[in-house]
Structure 1
Amino acid sequence: MRLHGVYFAVAAGSFRRYATYRIATAAGVFTNTVFGFVLSYTFLALWSERPHLGGYDQSQALTFVWAGQAILAAASLIGGGFQEELQERIRTGDVAVDLYRPADLQLWWLAADLGRAAFQLLGRGIVPMAVGALAFELALPASPLRWIAFLTSVLLGVITGFGLRYLLALSSFWLLDGSGLNMLGSLLSSLFSGMLLPLTIFPGLFGETVRMLPWAATMQVPADVLLGEYEGTGLLAAYGFQAVWAVGLLAAGRALQSLATRKVVVQGG
């Protein structure tokens, strides 16, 4: 099997693996839907007092909420994904086996995370979005091209999120326990991805700064693509923003991986 076929097989295997967790998926759908309703009624109260807050009308704001619920699990905005498993393999020393595989460590885990994200987008994304569309007046696009643009942006956002979480996972080469950094990563993601509030509502220099951080690429940008905030060259610029962060974070992960594996210290063994 050629090397690219190995990564495809890893992604497909990861998709099938998460598809077996039917009860967990159903619980996730329920949680996303309930959280979507909580945020929706919060946004209704906010936008009734401040119409066009953040540049959105009420329908767009509600669409932002449910787009976020569709993306949340796929992009692992508040945890989940691969990093805990990789951290445990580093802690136990099983990562040494991974390093002997005829495949790149980073690409292996990226392929696995893309397979997971694809399932989560289908398994935990479609139903909450459909429920939201039935319960509220959403500004969902009719054009298939807009949906394709949205999915492209989601893919770039997932890769960016992987880059962030891969750096956190590699910290276990130096730390006995990476749970603290994982919690910090989830906190930063929930605050600066747009999961709780659109980043466009933050004013001044602070707002400009948070919209330039990598977390914005994981949710804020895909949601705005769905809402049609980017068209033509603006859409290309949005993709470019996501791609720059994705490539930069993957490169940083590659450099940290090289540093970590020069002298692998197996903790506990």
Structure 2
Amino acid sequence: MLAYRRIAAASFRQYSTYRMATAAGVFTNTIFGFIRASIMLAAIGTAGGELNGYDALQAATYVWLGQALLAPIEVFGTRELALRIRQGDVAIDLLRPVDLLGQLYAAKLGRSAYLLLARGIPPMLIGAVVTGIALPPDPLSHLLGAVAVMLAITVAFLADAMVNLAAFWLVENRGLTTVYTAVMNLLSGFLIPIVWFPDWLLAIARATPFPSMVQTPIDALSGRVAPLDALPLIGVQVVWVVVLGGASVLMLRAGVRSLEVQGG
């Protein structure tokens, strides 16, 4: 455990050195947030001030919480592991005395902690000043929201890891990554709340792990879902952590066997 804590701390320090990139990220997230907020508020205004349970203030809250989670969850995915697999550097990673997925997850937690503090919260505060946001007064909602965010980061990490691990068998996985990113952004609720979907698409979304990455933590943090109602959603997140975690381990083992057969 000490090794993983040190990896997480090192990852936090590493990303804290990129101050200009952080400032640029805050600016970009804020501008993108204003664009998303204007579109959603226009849609709600056209619908008469309320759309599927969202009024203007709730929609603004949804947007700015989503912007706060954008960087730490890394909704656009990562490419580092796939690149290391293609270049063969993963063989060195596998020789280290720590589990490959474990070290990647520890680095993810350190990176996400910094990105939440430095690139997630500032745009949310700016949005709160400009459009306003509504957060629940119940401390239990904040506690469950924090748990949901942690699980969302974990679910997103495991799903992204599986996409990267496909590089063991694919010569080029950029197409797979592009499709995954597009589907994830839609079905997770990042673009719009999934309750705005038609029934058939909503059913598809709920059958995937994607809402657990964005929709669930936002619902828990915003208080739109009461604490007792948030517990089953968090339970779904836990189920996806177990399922995707097991699938990731099996993919890694199969990939290592493939690498050994090829003489790696």
TM-score (norm 1): 0.92
Question: How many angstroms apart in 2 are the aligned matches of 1:212 and 1:65?
Answer: 23
Q: Give yes or no for contact 1:73–1:117 (8 Å, CA) kept in 2.
A: yes
Identity %: 42
Equivalent residue, structure 2, for 1:153? 148
Segments of 5+ residues of structure 2 without an aligned counterpart are none
C-alpha offsets along residues 26-64 of structure 1, whole Å, 9 cap, x if unaligned? 111111100010011111111112232121121101100
Q: Which amino acid aligns with 1:189?
A: M
Match of 1:169 among 164, 169, 189: 164
Whether the 8 Å CA contact 2:140–2:227 is kept in 1: the answer is no
Q: Secondary structure at the match of 2:184?
A: helix
Instruction: Give the C-alpha shift of residue 231 in structure 1.
Output: 2.5
For 1:233 and 1:147, locate their aligned partners in 2 and report how far apart those are by CA, in whole Å: 13
CA contact (8 A) 1:90 1:266 kept: no
Report how far residue 265 of structure 1 moved: 6.0
Q: Which runs of 4+ in 1 moved over 3 A?
A: 142-145
Corresponding position of 1:114: 109
**1:178-257 map, 5 Å:** 178-257=173-252
Q: Which residue of 1 aligns with 2:59?
A: 61
Amino acid at match of 2:51: L
Please tell me whether residue 263 in structure 1 is matched to residue 258 in structure 2.
Answer: yes
Maintained 8 Å contact 1:92/1:266: no
User: Shift of residue 20 of structure 1?
Assistant: 1.0
Q: CA–CA distance in 2 between the matches of 1:266 and 1:215?
A: 34
* Paired amino acid for 2:99: D
Match of 1:44 among 41, 46, 55: 41
Contact 2:33 2:67 survives alignment (8 Å): yes
Distance 1:43 1:7 in 2: 41
**How far is 1:230 from its partner?**
2.7
1:127: which partner in 2?
Answer: 122
- Per the alignment, residue 77 of structure 1 pairs with 75
Kindly provide the CA deviation profile for residues 167-191 of structure 1, in whole angstroms up to 9, marking residues without a partner as x.
Answer: 0111111112222222122111211
Tell me how far apart the structure 2 counterparts of residues 254 and 185 of structure 1 sit (CA, whole Å).
Answer: 19
Partner of 1:29: 26
- 8 Å CA contact retained: 2:12, 2:111: yes
Q: Which moved more, 1:222-231 or 1:128-137?
A: 222-231
Q: Deviations over 1:83-104 (max 9, x none)?
A: 4211121112111111111111
1:147 Cα offset (Å): 2.4
CA shift digits 1:131-180 (9 cap, x unpaired): 00000122123344322321211110010001110001111111122222
Aligned residues: 262
1:23, CA displacement in angstroms?
1.0
TM-score, L = length of structure 2: 0.94
Q: Which runs of 5 or more residues in structure 1 are unaligned?
A: none
TM-superposed deviation, 1:218:
0.6
**Structure 2 equivalent of residue 96 of structure 1:** 91
* Separation in structure 2 between the aligned mates of residue 206 and residue 217 of structure 1, nearest angstrom: 16
Distance 2:127 2:138 in 1: 19
Q: Is the 8 A contact 2:135 2:223 kept in 1?
A: no
3-state DSSP of counterpart to 1:73:
helix
In structure 2, distance between residues paired with 1:142 and 1:231: 11
Alpha carbons of structure 1 residues 266 and 229: separation in structure 2 relative to 1, 3 Å:
farther
